[in-house]
């Protein structure tokens, strides 16, 4: 009998199935991190619904899935703003002025690190080495695109470009 998935929205299930086909993983549990990435993209964060969907697809307990997700910094365990601004402030970026960029963002957005603006548009976090040390300071948006050689001016125009 084919498995039926009651907690996985159809569109998400299609992506999970595509992952299973493409990944050719010898054991299904190996799909946990990739599936969490897909679920986070669908739900915006690792919500209870996201945990339930991944747990059901991989036949794991929700506690196990949440325990794994919380190990990795790229998984948002709270609902973040629409644009998560991730500023690297490790050694090389620090030398190029990353701390001033974080301080500027805190002032400009009126939030502290780890916070979200009241309109839900921006969240701000500091991250550790993004592996672009020769092109610092580096800012990443939503775990995806890198913005390199950042300055206060470039941060301001980046913020304006984010809808």
Partner 1 sequence: MAEETKIVMLDMDVEGISSLSVYEKHGGYAALKKVLGEMTPDEVTAEVKKSGLRGKGGAGFPAGVKWGFIPKDKGEKYLCVNADESEPGTFKDQAILEKMPHRMLEGAIIAGYAFGATHIFIYIRGEFWKEINIVQRVVDEAYEAGYLGKGILGSDYSVECTVHPGAGAYICGEETSLLESLEGRRAEPKMKPPFPAIEGLYDKPTIINNVETLATVPAIIERGADWHLSLGTEKSPGIKMFSVSGHVNKPGVYEIELGVNQLDFIETICGGVKGGRLKATIPGGSSVPVMPAANCDCPLSFEGLQDAGSMLGSAGFMVFNEHTDMVKVIEVISRFYAHESCGKCTVCREGTHWINMIINRILRGEGAMDDLVTLQDAADGMEMKSFCPLGDAAAWPVQSFLKHFRHEFIDYIEGRKKLVPKYEPVGAIGHHKLVKPAY
- Interface positions, 50-89, toward partner 1 (CB under 8 A): 58, 60, 67-68, 70-80, 84, 89
Tell me which stretch binds partner 1 (CB under 8 A): 1-9, 10-18, 143-151, 153-161: 143-151
26 in contact with partner 1 (CB under 8 A): yes
Q: How many Cα atoms within 13 Å fall on the side-chain side of residue 93?
A: 28
Distance CA 103, CA 88 (A): 13
Q: Quick one: which H or E segment has residue 62?
A: helix 62-69
Within 10 Å of residue 69's Cβ, how many Cβ atoms? 22
Q: Do the Cβ atoms of 139 and 86 come closer than 8 Å?
A: yes
Binding residue for partner 1 (CB under 8 A) from 5, 13, 20, 33?
A: 33
Mask 120-139, x = binds partner 1 (CB under 8 A)? ---x-xxxxxxxxxxxx---
Residue among 10, 143, 13 at smallest CA distance from 73: 143
Binding residue for partner 1 (CB under 8 A) from 25, 120, 152, 162?
A: 25
Which is closer to partner 1, CB of 10 or CB of 50? 50
* DSSP, res 111: -
**Binding residues for partner 1, total number by CB under 8 A:** 62
Sequence length of the chain is: 163
The minimum distance between CB 122 and partner 1, in angstroms, equals 12
Q: Where are the alpha helices (DSSP H) in 70-115?
A: 91-95, 98-109
Tell me which stretch binds partner 1 (CB under 8 A): 5-13, 111-119, 153-161: 111-119
Distance CA 58, CA 43 (A): 18
Query: Which residues of this protein are in contact with partner 1, per CB under 8 A?
Result: 23-27, 29-34, 36-37, 45, 58, 60, 67-68, 70-80, 84, 89-92, 94-95, 99-100, 102-103, 106, 112-114, 123, 125-136, 140, 143-146
């Amino acid at each position: 009998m084919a498995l039926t998935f009651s907690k996985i929205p159809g569109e998400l299930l299609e992506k999970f199935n595509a992952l299973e086909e493409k990944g050719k993983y010898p054991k299904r549990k190996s799909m946990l991190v990739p599936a969490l990435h897909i679920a986070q993209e669908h739900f915006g964060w690792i919500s209870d619904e996201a945990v339930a969907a991944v747990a059901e697809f991989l036949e794991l307990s929700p506690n196990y899935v949440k325990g794994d997700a919380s190990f990795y910094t790229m998984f948002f365990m709270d609902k973040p703003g629409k644009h998560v601004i991730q500023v690297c402030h490790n050694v090389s970026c620090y030398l190029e002025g990353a701390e001033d960029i974080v301080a500027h963002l805190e002032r400009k957005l009126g939030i502290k690190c780890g916070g979200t603006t009241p309109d839900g548009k921006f969240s701000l976090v500091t991250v550790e080495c993004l592996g672009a040390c020769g092109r610092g300071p580096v800012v990443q948006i939503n775990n995806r695109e890198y913005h390199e050689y950042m300055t206060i001016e470039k941060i301001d125009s980046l913020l304006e470009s984010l809808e």
